[in-house]
Amino acid sequence: MSAVIYPTTNLAATEQLSFARGEGVYVYDQQGKQYLEGMAGLWCTGLGYGNQELIETIEQQLQTLSFSHTFGGKTHQPVIDLADKLAAMVPVKDAMVFFGNSGSDANDTHIKLLRYHADITGNTGRYKIITRERAYHGVTVAAGALTSLPANLAHFQAPIEALGILRTDHPHYYRGALPGESEADFVARITGNLEQLILAEGPETIAAFIAEPITGASGVIVPPAGYYPAVQAILDKYGILFWADEVITGFGRTGDVFGCDSMQIKQPAMMTFAKQLSSAYYPISAAVISGELYEPMVAASAEVGIFGHGYTYSGHPVACAAALKTLEIYERDGLYSHAAEVGDYLEARLQELTAIEQVGEVRGRGLIGAVELVEDRASKTPASDLAKRATQAAQDNGLIVRNVAGNALAVCPPLVITRAQVDELVDKLGNAIEQALAAR
Shortest distance, CB of residue 245 to ligand PMP, whole angstroms? 4
- Which region among 69-77, 133-141, 181-189, 430-438 touches ligand PMP (by CB under 6 A)? 133-141
State which residue, 92 or 217, has the beta carbon closest to ligand PMP. 217
Binders of ligand PMP among residues 36 to 65 (CB under 6 A) are 42
**Element containing residue 424 per DSSP (H, E):** helix 419-438
Shortest distance, CB of residue 204 to ligand PMP, whole angstroms? 28
**Contact call for residue 103 and ligand PMP (CB under 6 A):** yes
How far is the C-alpha of 294 from the C-alpha of 308, rounded, in Å? 15
- What is the radius of gyration, based on Cα positions, of the chain? 22
Contact 270, 92 (CB under 8 A): yes
**Contact call for residue 217 and ligand PMP (CB under 6 A):** yes
Shortest distance, CB of residue 103 to ligand PMP, whole angstroms? 2
For the window 1-40, what string marks contact with ligand PMP as x by the rule CB under 6 A?
Answer: ----------------------------------------
Per-residue burial over 176-214, b = 16 or more CB atoms within 10 Å of its CB, e = otherwise:
bbeeeeeeeebbeebbeebbebbeeeebeebbbbbbbbb
State which residue, 227 or 383, has the beta carbon closest to ligand PMP. 227
Contact 240, 203 (CB under 8 A): yes
**Contact call for residue 137 and ligand PMP (CB under 6 A):** yes
State which residue, 127 or 243, has the beta carbon closest to ligand PMP. 243
- Which region among 100-108, 166-174, 222-230, 333-341 touches ligand PMP (by CB under 6 A)? 100-108
35, 99, 127, 136: which one contacts ligand PMP (CB under 6 A)? 136
Selection from 341, 340, 278, 285 nearest residue 51 by Cα: 278
- Which region among 134-142, 222-230, 379-387, 410-418 touches ligand PMP (by CB under 6 A)? 134-142
Shortest distance, CB of residue 225 to ligand PMP, whole angstroms? 22
- Which region among 110-118, 130-138, 302-310, 427-435 touches ligand PMP (by CB under 6 A)? 130-138
User: Which ranges in 44-140 belong to alpha helices (H)?
Assistant: 52-64, 77-89, 103-120
- Which region among 96-104, 124-132, 232-240, 349-357 touches ligand PMP (by CB under 6 A)? 96-104
Binders of ligand PMP among residues 263 to 282 (CB under 6 A) are 274
**Contact call for residue 108 and ligand PMP (CB under 6 A):** no
Contact 168, 193 (CB under 8 A): yes
How far is the C-alpha of 415 from the C-alpha of 138, rounded, in Å? 23
How far is the C-alpha of 105 from the C-alpha of 127, rounded, in Å? 18
State which residue, 212 or 424, has the beta carbon closest to ligand PMP. 212
Q: What is the largest CA-CA distance in the chain?
A: 70
220, 248, 370, 433: which one contacts ligand PMP (CB under 6 A)? 248
State which residue, 153 or 356, has the beta carbon closest to ligand PMP. 153
Shortest distance, CB of residue 301 to ligand PMP, whole angstroms? 29
**Contact call for residue 216 and ligand PMP (CB under 6 A):** yes
How far is the C-alpha of 423 from the C-alpha of 406, rounded, in Å? 25
What is the DSSP-derived secondary structure letter of residue 212?
Answer: -
**What Cα–Cα distance (Å) separates residue 296 from each residue in 2, 53, 157, 300, 304?**
50, 41, 34, 6, 11
- CB count within 10 Å of CB 373 equals 27
User: Which ranges in 227-285 belong to alpha helices (H)?
Assistant: 227-238, 259-262
Binding-residue total with ligand PMP (CB under 6 A):
15
How far is the C-alpha of 258 from the C-alpha of 64, rounded, in Å? 32
HEC letters along 355-422: HCCCEEEEEEECCEEEEEEECCCCCCCECHHHHHHHHHHHHHCCEECEEECCCEEEECCCCCCCHHHH
108, 195, 212, 256: which one contacts ligand PMP (CB under 6 A)? 212
**Contact call for residue 245 and ligand PMP (CB under 6 A):** yes
State which residue, 54 or 277, has the beta carbon closest to ligand PMP. 277
Contact positions vs ligand PMP (CB under 6 A):
42, 102-104, 107, 136-138, 212, 216-217, 245, 247-248, 274
